[in-house]
């Protein structure tokens, strides 16, 4: 990344008893000049929510062929493909075809993201995204984190089912990272438009 607005560091203590994940790790990532603080914090939260050894941020925020976060196998194949925000439809369809054994996740972080993705599904007769996990990160939490911006943050994250208990630099937050049934959301959007 040639230009940045600075590097952000997150010292994370993660407890996720639902998945049996207990880890401490440090995330360091640049903020792209076109990236909002909300997107930066959504990236960090999505990384923590999906955390497992070998997970990493991709090369660039606006990279045409890469997701936001991924995990690659030793042979270079993609095991996990994680996008924060609504993916470009062509990029997403290409990734699904080229990586049939990867686990795909999309983390929405703006209120209109689900509707925007459902718009991408229009014309679909079959559920071609049935093997993709969808999540919604609370946009109010992201605004609150942005209001307390820090280039070096200490985060304690406790995930219990969809609930998230976050202590960020001594401030406690209670929020959710909600699992979304995108096909049902799409069907509701169709019914509401009629």
pLDDT digits (tens, 9 = 90+) for 65-117: 889 999 999 998 999 999 999 998 888 988 999 999 999 999 999 989 999 99
Angle between helices 113-121 and 182-193 (to 10 degrees): 80
- The answer to whether position 44 is within a domain reads yes
Please report whether residue 20 resides in a domain.
yes
Q: Is residue 185 assigned to a domain?
A: yes
What's the whole-number average pLDDT of the chain? Answer: 91
Residue 1 belongs to a domain: no
Say what the pTM is: 0.92
CATH (domain of 46): 3.10.640.10
Residue 2 within a domain: no
CA distances, 152 to each of 2, 53, 57, 115, 173 (Å)? 21, 22, 18, 34, 18
Give the domain extent around 157.
7-193
Asked whether residue 62 is assigned to any structural domain, the reply reads: yes
When divided into structural domains, the chain yields a total of: 1
Looking at residue 167, what is its pLDDT? 97
Cβ partners under 8 Å of residue 120, min gap 6: 86, 89, 92
Q: Is the dihedral of CA 8, 19, 173, 137 positive or negative?
A: positive
Residue-wise pLDDT tens digits, 121-164: 887 766 778 889 999 999 999 999 998 889 999 999 999 999 99
82 part of a folded domain: yes
């Amino acid at each position: 990344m040639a230009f940045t607005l600075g590097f952000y560091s997150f010292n994370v203590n993660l407890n996720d008893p639902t998945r049996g994940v207990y880890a401490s790790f440090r995330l360091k990532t640049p903020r792209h000049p076109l990236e909002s603080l909300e997107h930066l914090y959504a990236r960090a939260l999505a990384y923590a929510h999906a955390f497992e050894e070998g997970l990493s941020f991709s090369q660039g925020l606006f990279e045409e062929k890469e997701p936001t976060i991924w995990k690659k196998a030793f042979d270079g194949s993609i095991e996990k493909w994680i996008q924060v925000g609504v993916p470009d439809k062509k990029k997403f369809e290409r990734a699904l075809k080229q990586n049939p054994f990867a686990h795909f996740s999309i983390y929405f972080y703006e209120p209109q993201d689900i509707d925007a993705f459902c718009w991408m599904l229009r014309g679909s007769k079959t559920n071609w995204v049935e093997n993709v996990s969808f999540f919604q990160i609370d946009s109010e939490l992201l605004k609150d984190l942005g209001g307390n911006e820090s280039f070096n943050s200490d985060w304690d994250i406790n995930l219990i089912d969809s609930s998230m208990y976050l202590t960020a630099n001594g401030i406690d937050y209670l929020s959710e990272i909600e699992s979304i049934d995108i096909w049902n959301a799409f069907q509701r959007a169709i019914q509401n438009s009629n």
